[in-house]
Amino acid sequence: MQLEVIQIPAGPLETNAFVVIDAATSQALIFDAPPESVALIEGEVMARKASPVALIITHGHWDHIQDTSAVRDRYEIPVMMHDLDRERLESPGERDFPAVTPDRILTEGDTVELAEHRFEVFHTPGHSPGQISLYHAESQSLFGGDTLFPNGYGRVDIPGASESETLATMAKLLEFPDEVTVYTGHGASTTIGQERGWIERVVSSGKLL
Ligand SMILES: [Zn+2]
Ligand SMILES: [Zn+2]
C-alpha cells in the first residue's frame, strides 16, 4: 500500500517535520518536531483523519526537537531517537523548551513499524553524533534529517559535529540505490542518484567539500 509524505516546514530555520501516512490504515509516523510545528502537524493530521503512532527524532538539534513535548502530549505517542543525541532532549540547557526522556532508543538495524510498513534505522552521524536516517525500502524513501541536502551535507562546523564521521556516513549513502528519495531537514528533497557524483568524489578523496 501507498504512503503519503507531507512536508511541514516550521520555525525560524524552516526545519522540516514530516507526517508519513499509511493509506490503508491512516496510521502515521511523525519525523521531527521543529519550533512552532505542533499546530501545523495537527492541521495536516486532522485534514487526513490520520492517527500518529510515533514521533521519530532524526537528531537532537534544537530546531528539530523544540516541540517534542507538545507533539508527544497531543497524541500520547512514544518518542524515539538515538542514544548519542538524547542528552539534548533531556537537558535543553539555555533553550527554553520542556525536557523529554525518549521512550525508545533507536540504533543501527532497528526497525520502526507503521502498519505493515517497516522503516529501517541507519546511524548516520557526522553533523550530529546521534543522527539517524530511516529507510522505507518499498517506496525507496530515506528520512535523513540534516544528513544530506542537494549538493551537500549537514554542517560540520558546530559542536558535536565530526568531519571523519561525515565522510563515513557519505560512504554509507553510496550503498543506497539511485532511485532513493532523500527527505531533508531543511528545504527540498533530493535523490541518491542526483548526489552520487559529488559524494563519490568526496569519499574517494577522503576530504569533505
Ligand atoms: Zn541539525
Ligand atoms: Zn536542522
Q: How much distance in Å is there from the Cα of 125 to the middle of ligand 2?
A: 13
The parent domain of residue 9 ranges over: 3-91+99-205
Which residues on adjacent β-strands are paired with residue 31? 18, 56
Smallest CA-to-CA distance from 54 within 25, 30, 35 is with 30
**Cell numbers standing for residue 22:** 499509511
Ligand closest to CA 187: 2
SS3 labels along 9-63: EECCCCEEEEEEEECCCCEEEEECCCCCCHHHHHHHHHHCCCEEEEEECCCCCHH
pLDDT digit string, tens, across residues 117-176? 999 999 999 999 999 999 999 999 999 999 999 999 999 999 999 999 999 999 999 999
Question: What sign results for the dihedral spanned by CA atoms 107, 16, 23, 178?
Answer: negative
Query: What's the pLDDT score for residue 209?
Result: 82
Mean pLDDT of 3-32: 98
> 1 versus 5: which is more confidently predicted?
5
pLDDT confidence band for 96 (50 / 70 / 90)? confident
pLDDT confidence band for 93 (50 / 70 / 90)? confident
Q: How much distance in Å is there from the Cα of 177 to the middle of ligand 1?
A: 24
Q: Which of 38-42, 96-100, 114-118, 179-183 has the lowest mean pLDDT?
A: 96-100
Q: How much distance in Å is there from the Cα of 201 to the middle of ligand 2?
A: 25
Q: How much distance in Å is there from the Cα of 18 to the middle of ligand 2?
A: 13
User: Angle at CA 156, nearest 5°, toward 151 and 162?
Assistant: 120
Q: How much distance in Å is there from the Cα of 22 to the middle of ligand 2?
A: 26
Q: How much distance in Å is there from the Cα of 190 to the middle of ligand 2?
A: 16
Q: How much distance in Å is there from the Cα of 8 to the middle of ligand 1?
A: 16
Query: What's the pLDDT score for residue 95?
Result: 83
Q: In this prediction, what percent of the chain has a pLDDT beyond 70?
A: 100
Q: How much distance in Å is there from the Cα of 112 to the middle of ligand 2?
A: 22
Q: How much distance in Å is there from the Cα of 85 to the middle of ligand 2?
A: 14
Q: How much distance in Å is there from the Cα of 117 to the middle of ligand 1?
A: 27
Q: Counting every residue, how long is the chain?
A: 209
Q: What is the CATH number of the domain that holds 11?
A: 3.60.15.10
Q: How much distance in Å is there from the Cα of 111 to the middle of ligand 1?
A: 22
- In the structure, ligand 2 is a single-atom ion and the residues with CB under 5 Å from it are 63, 146, 185
Query: Is the confidence at residue 1, as pLDDT, over 80?
Result: no
Query: Is the confidence at residue 39, as pLDDT, over 70?
Result: yes
Domain total in the chain: 1
* Average pLDDT of every residue of the chain: 97
Q: How much distance in Å is there from the Cα of 158 to the middle of ligand 1?
A: 9
Ligand closest to CA 130: 1
